Amino acid sequence: MKKYRVAVVGAGAVGVEMIRVLKNRKFPLEELRVLARTERPLVVDGQTYHVRPTTPEAFDGIDVGLFAGTEGDKGAAVTFGKEAIARGAVVIDNGADYRMDPTVPLVVPEVNGDALKNHKGIIANPNCTTAVLLMGLAPLHRAFGVKRAVVSTYQAVSGAGGKAIDALKDQSRKVLAGEPITDLGGFPNPIAFNVLANNWKIEERGYSNEEWKVVNETHKMLDPRIQLSVTTVRVPVAVGHGESVWIETEKPISAESARAVLAKAPGVRVVDEASPLDGVTCPMPILAAGREDTLIGRIRGDLFSDRALAFWVVGDNLWKGAALNAVQIAETLIANGWLKRTP
């Protein structure tokens, strides 16, 4: 089997998970380089990696560059992506910078993997919330034609980075000790024992930038005709995004027919009374954390329409929402002979 030289750019929460996923999936590595702002050792699951400074020369000989990304502007892929591509690497970016660029494929392999064959050197990972949503929405859209979706999210703090997990722990300790919270840890209000619907910048028509990402990315990857209404909420959970989804469909849909479709969907695991997972009958963040499958349950037909349905979906936002999806993109490129970019 041919082996590949891979660079992971970023040594934070997502970068660490990229290293972990590459190892867990036995990715055919000839060499793994870990790059970040500063040189230092990084220990992941007992193995020490030498983190090198990110420079253009650090991409010499690299086949795939996995950029851990940032949700802000001008992430590492903006600074170093073109240099990596010029040296022969394919860049897979988990940041937000290139997602809506019409020349850049935005991909979840199970949803629109064919879009990869026309890449020109850079591929974008979707927002973690969108990735988890589409694992359930896409198979149902193909089978029944989704006209409209109303989505409410329950998003883990790790979506805001490793420091957000530390902030949740610190605030929780203070609340339990009866002490005042003096450090919000980057959140607009305390997150411990609280939920925040104001965690993101409010933009056009009163929707947050996170809500707009779900709408725009779903339209780009799945179908621009789907009408979406999204409310994103941050909850005091470390890892694992949950999403409550109601859909209206073109064809009649029932809980039984939807369950049958989802049970066959790649990357999906139905969790309910008929198919418990580890003795649990409903998807939960702690059940989804560290799992490759996206978990779907609470599938139920609408009480007033035979063309509507509700379901609950939970996925590891650091895995399927970021690191795992990026590695799966690389695997799909290799499996189909698409690693070499289109001129």
Q: SS3 sequence, the chain?
A: CCCEEEEEECCCHHHHHHHHHHHHCCCCEEEEEEEECCCEEEEECCEEEEEEECCHHHHCCCCEEEECCCCCCCCHHHHHHHHHHHCCCEEEECCCCCCCCCCCCECCHHHHHHHHHHCCCEEECCCHHHHHHHHHHHHHHHHHCEEEEEEEEEECHHHHCHHHHHHHHHHHHHHHCCCCCCCCCCCCCCCCCCCECCCCCECHHHCEHHHHHHHHHHHHHCCCCCEEEEECCECCCCCCEEEEEEEEECCCCCHHHHHHHHHHCCCEEECECCECECCECCCCHHHHCCCCCEEEEEEEECCCCCCEEEEEEEECCCHHHHHHHHHHHHHHHHHHCCCCCCC
Domains of the chain and CATH, by start: 4-125+322-336 (3.40.50.720), 130-317 (3.30.360.10)
In the Cβ-directed half-sphere of 98, how many Cα atoms lie within 13 Å? 26
Of 50, 128, 141, 219, catalytic: 128
Write down the pTM of the prediction: 0.96
Catalytic choice (50, 119, 141, 241):
241
Report the sign of the C-alpha dihedral through residues 115, 78, 209, 185, in that order. positive
Contact 65, 329 (CB under 8 A): no
pLDDT (tens digit, 0 to 9) for every residue of the chain, 343 residues total?
Answer: 899 999 999 999 999 999 999 999 999 999 999 999 999 999 999 999 999 999 999 999 999 999 998 644 568 999 999 999 999 999 999 999 999 999 999 999 999 999 999 899 999 999 999 999 999 999 999 999 999 999 999 999 999 988 999 999 999 999 999 999 999 999 999 999 999 999 999 999 999 999 999 999 999 999 999 999 999 999 999 999 999 999 999 999 999 999 999 999 999 999 999 999 999 999 999 999 999 999 999 999 999 999 999 999 999 999 999 999 999 999 999 999 999 865 5
Is 241 an active-site residue? Answer: yes
User: What is the C-alpha to C-alpha distance for residues 234 and 197, in angstroms, rounded to an integer?
Assistant: 6
CA-to-CA distance for 276 and 205, rounded, in angstroms? 41
